[in-house]
A and B are shown apart, each in its own frame.
Chain A
Amino acid sequence: MTEKILEFPEPAIRSEPMLLNLGPQHPATHGVLRLICELDGETVLKVTPDIGFLHSSFEKLGEYRTWNQIVPLTDRMDYLAPLIYNCVYVMAVEKLMGLEVTERCKVARVLCMEMDRIFSHLLWLGTTAIDVGAFTPFLYAFQERERIYDLHEAYTGARITTSATRVGGMMADFPDGWTDSLRDFVKTLPKTLDEIESLLTTNGIHLGRTLDIGVISGEDAINCGFTGPNLRASGVDYDLRKDNPYYDYETYDFDVPIGENGDCYDRYLVRMEEMRQSLRILDQALDRLPDGPINVADPRVSLPSKTDCMNDMESMIHHFKLITEGILVPAGDCYFAVEGSKGELGMYVVSDGGEKPVRWRIRPPSFVNLSVIAKLAEGHLVSDLIMINASLDIVLGEIDR
């Protein structure tokens, strides 16, 4: 029987490679991303990403703004985790100034960053589930994201463009009852995560779409510049919170999940576990949130109190100078990186001692992660390309900057 099938004559058709444009306006590219695919039938021969559709030249704009005026630019890059970007920028400037923020501020920023890690991972989870055809997890994830939006709004007044940090502290302290709302969120999110996991982790369709898709070895992943959950899924134990700790992360009790195979499924597992670990950090940070001022009492960066301004001339002049000139950052350069939701998020600031930066550079994790897609997608089907693209967790606002 088998032999008979083999003897069947080859049909007289000729296959030719074909060019397919995916995007820039396509929901499965998760933003304004254009993928130029060379296909043989449904097999991807080569992918060439074309980016830059959202380019706004934030780095150039930053050179015309005072140090604190740059904060609103940072959250417009990664609108899926705005607070992490707000925090890391001011952390870089503070490091360059040699400024130590208050204990309350440190814990507050840890709260902000871990909350937004979950915020970003939830969006990734929902949209990735949609890409493999699962609609329910999307609704569950976005319901939980809505609660973080509410927390953003209660704290900063904005849902996405938070702009919550200032050099030397935060724009304000947490409002009354805010930490209770966050604690309530921390308590109830695991239940939703369990529900989503029960829908996806052992789901046959999900397994079929993700297992052994887009595999990259640990060594290659480092060479390609992978960082964050993508790198850890390939089995490399590299997390800046552990390896180059900032803000006392070494004193928090949490684990760094590591994958084995470096495929889409491991990237899914790593992110799911990371959310639970972030909840553990949030829980501990809420417990240890100390009282005291949230802004540092350093005349270089902080404004004098309103009463002082009204009562003595020097405070009034100081207030005026800080507002009109902006803060002055000593000459030098500083690269500061944190573990962002998408990978190593670094800010490189160069100052000449003036009120504006000479250069402000973002080390973009999504940009570097996306550059690997050509290597990952080669030889897979077009539908796998969609899955690989989703599993990288990119945000185009930050890729194009």
Chain B
Amino acid sequence: MVDESGSAFDAVEQGPKASGDPTGTPRDSDGDPSGHPTVTALQSWFGSTVLHHEVQAGDQHVVFVDAARNREVLKWLRDDPEQRYDLLADVTAVDYGGGKPIQIVYQLWSVGHKRALRVKCELPLDGLTIDSVVQLWSTANWLEREVYDLFGVEFTGHPDLRRILMPQNYAEGHPLRKDFPLRGRFSRAEQTRRALSQDYHDDYTPESLEVGGAPGLAPPEPNRSTETAEDKP
């Protein structure tokens, strides 16, 4: 396919085009909240913290929540007996590109009530920080690490916020962001050099390193004085 803007490889070099309207993330008009009992309860309980509600794909209810209060809202959704969203199915992020805010997406499911709800928080690109929900659901541990790794969103209060899929010494940025080119930012030669110079000790936690006697350093000297004292006849 020939693009009037230039080579067909432009997208590969520069990342995909930003989508939709440049002024903000695409947002449908408010959906009818009466279709989902949780949405009405959320709106009456939290008021203006619930920014927006919409219905997607026919019957999927999406609630936009103030990112500063995400943990509070999610904790209520998990603990309130009428809601009981005890299964956090997924935490992910969406980048629409073009400087638009990044959306953090929580997919919730209530095993008891058999209801699903999608909660979204929007983070501006210059403030990619949001409260972690690991304290509420242990599932969030790895899922938030993945979002951190691939989108660069910081989760405050996360116990172990490290890269998870990319190598620890990866310095090209966050691959799922729209401004990240498909082939990476570095040249092939530089990428190969970095891959070969990976230090596998980077994957150990500091506690593990202590247990292993800090690999890379010399192993601890055995205490010879006691041995020799006993060995001597």
Which A positions have Cβ atoms within 8 angstroms of B? 12, 17-19, 34, 36, 38, 45-46, 48, 50-52, 55, 57, 59-61, 63-64, 95-96, 98, 222-225, 227, 236, 238, 243-244, 324, 331-337, 344, 346, 348, 350, 352-354, 356, 358-359, 361, 363, 367-368, 371-372, 375, 400-401
Complex: chain A residue closest to B97, CB-CB: A358
> Distance in Å from the Cβ of A203 to the closest Cβ of chain B?
33
Q: How many residues on the B side are at the interface (Cβ–Cβ under 8 A)? A: 56
Interface string of B214-233 (1 = CB under 8 A from A): 01000000000000001000
The complex places the Cα of A52 from the Cα of B1 at a distance, in Å, of: 33
What are 19 A-B pairs at a CB distance below 8 A?
A12-B230, A19-B208, A19-B215, A48-B205, A48-B208, A59-B176, A60-B175, A64-B11, A64-B12, A95-B57, A222-B86, A224-B137, A224-B139, A332-B56, A335-B90, A358-B19, A367-B142, A371-B141, A371-B142
B203 and A36 within 8 A (CB): yes
Q: Which of B1, B105, B164, B207 contacts A348 (CB 8 A)?
A: B105
Q: Is the interface of A mostly helix, strand, loop or mixed?
A: mixed
- Residue from the list A17, A55, A331, A375 in contact with B20, Cβ < 8 A: A331
Known interface pairs A18-B211, A59-B176, A368-B139; 7 further A-B residue pairs with C-beta atoms within 8 A, sorted by A's residue number: A36-B208, A48-B208, A238-B87, A335-B116, A359-B95, A372-B138, A400-B165
- Kindly list chain A residues whose C-beta atoms are within 8 Å of the C-beta of B96: 352, 358
B217 CB, min distance to chain A CBs, angstroms: 13
Decide yes or no: A55 and B166 within 8 Å by CB, A236-B111, A244-B114, A333-B56 being known contacts: yes
Can you name the residue of chain A whose Cβ is closest to the Cβ of B210?
A: A17
Residues of chain B within 8 A (CB-CB) of A59 are 150, 176
- Given known pairs A51-B165, A225-B88, the reply for A350 and B60 (CB within 8 Å) is no
Q: How far is the CB of B105 from chain A (nearest CB, A)?
A: 7
Query: Which residues of chain A are near B12, meaning CB under 8 Å?
Result: 64
Top 8 closest pairs, chain A to chain B, by CB: A225-B139, A19-B212, A352-B19, A334-B57, A371-B142, A52-B165, A363-B90, A17-B211
Task: Report A-chain residues with C-beta under 8 Å of the C-beta of B152.
Answer: none
- What is the CA–CA distance of A236 and B110 in the complex, to the nearest angstrom? 12
Q: Is B47 an interface residue, CB under 8 A from the partner? A: no
Which of B56, B89, B137, B182 is packed against the most chain A CB atoms within 10 Å? Answer: B89
B132 interfacial contact with A, CB 8 Å: no
Q: Report the separation of the CA atoms of residues A291 and B103 in the bound assembly, to the nearest whole angstrom.
A: 44
Determine the chain A residues whose CB is within 8 A of the CB of B97 once the complex forms: 358
Least CB distance from B75 to A in Å reads 13
List of A residues within 8 angstroms of B211 by Cβ = 17-19, 38, 45
- Contact A223 B90, CB 8 Å, known A332-B57, A334-B56, A334-B60: no
Q: Closest residue to B15 on the A side, CB-wise? A: A63
Looking across the interface, which residue of chain B has its beta carbon closest to that of A330?
B57
Alpha-carbon distance A224/B137, docked complex (angstroms)? 6
Residues of B with C-beta under 8 A to A243: 111, 114
Q: Identify the interface centre among A51, A352, A354, A375: most chain B CB within 10 Å of its CB.
A: A352
- Whether, in the assembled complex, B118 has its beta carbon less than 8 Å from a beta carbon of chain A, the answer is yes
